[in-house]
Amino acid sequence: MIAASAVHVIARDGLRSLTHRAVDREAAIPQGSTSYYAPTRHALLELVVSVLAERSIADAERAMTQLRVSMKDQVRVDALTLAARIDELVTVLTSRPDDMKVRYALLLELEAGALRDRLTEKSDVHTAMIHAVGSVLSKLGSAHPESHAVELITLTDSLVLHRIMSRSDTSFEPIIKAYLLGIVDGSAC
């Protein structure tokens, strides 16, 4: 409850407005409660980063599970199916705009360090995603699945940012499909 309330405070009022009292008010809990569980601002930010990471991990795991199930017995994957699945993931990630706004705010404000790393390509989650996406891209026919996975994850992050900022629900399937077709021989798709 405290972490979720902190996310709402940051998304609505900005990172600088994050105080223990603001979180107490948002959570409708007695004054001082947030300070008890997160005695410093850094501890409060750790709670926020943890909840964002947990939600992102759950989304990514669900997306990868759905993708694996849909291609379970397939030796190859087609670009259309993969593009549709990635577009669905963008939709899922942007269904929680507060989380994404807070993630971007933290990335801009946090100095280099372990807390910031948990939100970037230096996280264990990001590394695991590169391997998982790379294995899917190899089934698509990518000659360089790991480097293409990094590119595809970067593209997906950019599409999430665009959707959050534009507040548009336009499908990104054509963009994703064009990228996927560009990394493989068109006849393989």
Q: Which amino acid is at 27?
A: A
Spell out the domains of the chain, with CATH numbers in brackets: 53-188 (1.10.357)
Give the span between the Cα atoms of 18 and 30, in whole angstroms: 17
Residues 94-148: tens digit of each pLDDT: 888 999 999 999 999 888 788 888 888 787 778 878 888 898 899 889 999 999 9
Tracing tokens 């008010």 back to the chain, one arrives at: 25
pTM: 0.80
Cβ neighbours of residue 81 under 8 Å, at least 6 residues apart?
70, 71
Backbone angles phi, psi at 60, to 5 degrees: -65, -40
First to last CA, the chain: 46
Give the span between the Cα atoms of 95 and 57, in whole angstroms: 15
Please report the pLDDT score of residue 124 as a whole number. Answer: 74
**DSSP code for 111:** P
Computed on alpha carbons and rounded to an integer, the radius of gyration of the chain in Å comes to: 19
Residues 61-91: tens digit of each pLDDT: 887 787 777 777 666 778 888 898 889 888 8
Please report the pLDDT score of residue 75 as a whole number. Answer: 66
